[in-house]
Amino acid sequence: MITVKRIYDPAAPEDGYRILVDRLWPRGVSKERAHLDLWLKEVAPSTELRRWFHHDASAEAEVFDEFRTRYEHELDSNPAVDQLRELAKTHPRITLLVGARDPELDHGKVLEDYLEHHP
């Protein structure tokens, strides 16, 4: 089972294996507080795509569908996706950690859906 959670929320035993999937380290979070098992920044959107998506924060909801399409295209050829799939075989629960304010309008949700629907 794979879920998405904000890294700013407290760690919990039910999180299982905790993976930060942001390319940049989240502000204000110490490595101790993060309780990470892995930082897999390679699976995050490219710098260009991240900048495009966050350029106009007020338009996030409107551009999210286009972001999803572009990010899924990146994931199609990203070897870090295979690494996540292998981890899912050995860990019954994985929590993808993101620094976003709204994890439903972020790459973490796209990644979760992608892993579920693209075996």
- Tokens for 117? 């629907």
Q: Domain map of the chain by residue range?
A: 2-117
Is the Cβ–Cβ distance between 34 and 7 less than 8 Å?
yes
pLDDT at position 69 over 90: yes
- Which tops the pLDDT comparison, 81 or 105? 81
Give the mean model confidence (pLDDT) for residues 59-83.
89
E strand map for the chain: 2-6, 17-20, 38-39, 94-98
CA distance between the termini of the chain: 14
Residue 60: predicted pLDDT? 62
Query: Which pLDDT band holds residue 55 (cuts at 50, 70, 90)?
Result: low
Residue 103: predicted pLDDT? 75
* φ/ψ of residue 17, rounded to 5: -80, 120
pLDDT at position 58 over 70: no
Residue 79: predicted pLDDT? 96
pLDDT at position 112 over 70: yes
Give the mean model confidence (pLDDT) for residues 26-54.
92
